[in-house]
C-alpha cells in the first residue's frame, strides 16, 4: 500500500531508519531507487524478479489494485457504516516526494474501526492517475490512507478517488505543506486537519488485497469509496508538477475474490 534528518552519529541514523521501515507501511516503498513505474527492467511487470522479498509482486494471487465492476459486486448491509475518528495532525513527516507524496503521521492521528478491529491512521499516499479502476474508468488522482492495528500486524487502506471539479480542502493543505519542503523529506512544521476528510457515512467497496508497491504484501483490507471526491484543475496541475511521472501500478487479476458493497 523515507529519509530522515542526519544526526551526529551516522550509525544511529541508520538504526533509526531501519526501525522506522520495519514498523511503518512506508516499507512498501522501501528502496525507491530499486523500482519504478516504467516499462523498463525496474517497472511493475518486473518487481517480483528484482528481490526475493518482492516475489509476491509476481506470484501473489490477492494483489491490488483491481478493476471494480459495480454490476459484479455483492451488496452486504452487514458491513459497518464508516465512522472515522481522525484528529488534527501536527508536524507530519514527509517521507518523500519521489514515487509519490508520502506523509507519515504520529500516534495522535486517530483512526477507524473496521470489522470490529481498530486501526490507527499512519500514512497518506498519492497516486496519479488512480490505481483502482471502476468499470475500467481510471481517475486523475487516488489517495491511500494507510492504517495499522496497534500491534502493526494488520493493515487497512481507505482509497479515495478524485475527479475534476471543485477544490478539495485536504489536498490544498497537503499542497501548501509540501510546497517549500525538502524533496528528500523530513518533519513538516505545519498541521493537517484530517477531521475535514469526508469519509464517514459514505458508500464503499470492500475486498482483500495487497500493498500496491513492493513488497506487495497480501492480507490488506481495502475500502474503496464509491463516490469520487473532486479536485480543481489548479490542484491537478500542481500535483502533475510534483509527480512528474505516472506512479500507478496496473490492475491485477481478481482470481475469484469477492468484492462487497455497502451503501
Instruction: List, by residue number, the catalytic residues.
Output: 99
Q: Output the 3-class SS for 1-35.
A: CCCCCCCCCHHHHHHHHHHHHHHCHHHHHCCHHHC
Say how far apart CA 64 and CA 255 lie, in whole Å: 11
Chain-centroid distance of CA 3 in Å reads 18
Give the helix ranges, DSSP H, for 28-102: 47-50, 56-59
**Helix, strand, or coil (residue 201):** coil
Contacts of 205 (CB under 8 A, 6+ apart): 68, 73, 222, 223, 224, 226, 259, 260, 261
E strand or H helix at 176: helix 169-178
- Sheet of 137-138: strand order equals 67-68, 133-134, 137-138
Amino acid at each position: 500500500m523515507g529519509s530522515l534528518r542526519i544526526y551526529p552519529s551516522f550509525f544511529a541514523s541508520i538504526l533509526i531508519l531501519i526501525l522506522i521501515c520495519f514498523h511503518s507501511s512506508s516499507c512498501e516503498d522501501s528502496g525507491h531507487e530499486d523500482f519504478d513505474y516504467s516499462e523498463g527492467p525496474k517497472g511493475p511487470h518486473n518487481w517480483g524478479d528484482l528481490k526475493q522479498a518482492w516475489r509476491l509482486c509476481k506470484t501473489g494471487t490477492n494483489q491490488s489494485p483491481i478493476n471494480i465492476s459495480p454490476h459484479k459486486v455483492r451488496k452486504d448491509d452487514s458491513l459497518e457504516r464508516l465512522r472515522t475518528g481522525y484528529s488534527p495532525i501536527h508536524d507530519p513527516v514527509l517521507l518523500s516526494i519521489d514515487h509519490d507524496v508520502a506523509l507519515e503521521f504520529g500516534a495522535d492521528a486517530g483512526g477507524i474501526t473496521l470489522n470490529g478491529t481498530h486501526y490507527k491512521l499512519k500514512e497518506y499516499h498519492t497516486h496519479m492517475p488512480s490505481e483502482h479502476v471502476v468499470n475500467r474508468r481510471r481517475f486523475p488522482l487516488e489517495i491511500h490512507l494507510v492504517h495499522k492495528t496497534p500491534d502493526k500486524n494488520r493493515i487497512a487502506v481507505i482509497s479515495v478517488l478524485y475527479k475534476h471539479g471543485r477544490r478539495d480542502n485536504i489536498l490544498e493543505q497537503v499542497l501548501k505543506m509540501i510546497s517549500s519542503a525538502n524533496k528528500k523529506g523530513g518533519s513538516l512544521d505545519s498541521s493537517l486537519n484530517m477531521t475535514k476528510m469526508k469519509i464517514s457515512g459514505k458508500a464503499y467497496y470492500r475486498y482483500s488485497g495487497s500493498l500496491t508497491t513492493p513488497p506487495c504484501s497480501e492480507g490488506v483490507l481495502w475500502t474503496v469509496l464509491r463516490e469520487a471526491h473532486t479536485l480543481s484543475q489548479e490542484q491537478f496541475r500542481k500535483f502533475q508538477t510534483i509527480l512528474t511521472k505516472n506512479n500507478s501500478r496496473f490492475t491485477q487479476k481478481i482470481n475469484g475474490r469477492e468484492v462487497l458493497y455497502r451503501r
